[in-house]
Amino acid sequence: MSDNLFAGLEQLGLGDMSELEVFEEEKKEEEQEKKKVHEVTEEELLFDKTYVCPVCEKKFTSKMIKTGKNQLVGSDSDLRAKYSIADPIKYECVVCGNCGYAALSRFYGKQTEKQYDLIKEKISSKFKGVDETAPVYSYDEAFVRYQLALANAVVRNAKDSERGYICLKIAWILRGKSENLPSDMEELDQARKELKQQEKAFIKNAYHGLKEAMLKESMPICGMDEHTIMYLVADLARQCRDYPVSLKLVSEIITSKSVTPKLKDRALELKDMIKKEVGKK
């Protein structure tokens, strides 16, 4: 039997009806095109913010992330935030390409004249510039920018909190790079191992700096209240295997009557992590 549902109509002079479809197939390709949603790229999330350098007084721009479309999707135990499109940590370091002044945006321009003089003497006099032509910062470029910010902080004798916080951010940059290495690259495991070793070195310095800051400096520290900085230092202590300090701080958070429920839950999770790691020793 013919599959032509209109077979026989030719005797009525309607032979051309054989081409008719009872239910016209949807034009899938066209529909898919309509349904396609534009995927926002990292470059589209960026804008150039203008600064005036407090050291050399030159105007310059630094790339910043627009808020809104880059959604928070999670966080690590040490409060490193993860986002849906781009890693904002790459863009938190502000660098003057003329003189080499560099600082995290939260600390930018908050130094004394004496500190600026130290930067001129020990950094600007030797600085050769940074490449700002790339449309987005790679993790390697971000790493160099943070290294420059750390050098600035050390040269001008910045607070323990600032130096420790920069080290923490650099550790996060290295972690982000490791997570985003191409899965088909040669010697992937070795590359990740080396990045982990680098990360540990910066975590160790972050722990030292922020622990000292917690003891010596007034709150808030780097925008964190007392319980948040205690939690962060507790996790850094865990990563450095300083378990007695980590457990002590976690216990203080859990038993505090003023801690937020969310942070208390995180502290309980951290306590479980510490117990598991101690049990493996």
Q: Where are the domains of the chain?
A: 43-181+188-224
Q: What is the pLDDT of residues 68-93, one digit of tens each?
A: 889 999 999 999 999 999 999 999 99
Residue 259 in tokens: 């801690």
Return the structure tokens found at 92: 């938190």
Task: Give which of 152, 70, 139 is closest to 109, Cα–Cα.
Answer: 152
- Between the alpha carbon of residue 30 and those of residues 20, 23, 24, 26, the distances in Å are 21, 17, 14, 9
Contact 274, 246 (CB under 8 A): yes
Using one digit for the tens of pLDDT, what is the confidence trace for 157-198?
999 999 999 999 999 999 999 999 999 989 999 999 999 999
Per residue in 131-150, pLDDT tens? Answer: 888 899 999 999 999 999 99
- Tell me the pLDDT of the chain averaged across its residues: 92
CA 107 to centroid of chain Cα atoms: 18
User: What percentage of the chain carries pLDDT values higher than 90?
Assistant: 80
Which of these, 233, 204, 200, lies nearest to 216 by C-alpha position? Answer: 233
pLDDT attached to residue 130: 87
**Rounded mean pLDDT of 26-38?**
64
Instruction: Decide if pLDDT at 272 tops 70.
Output: yes
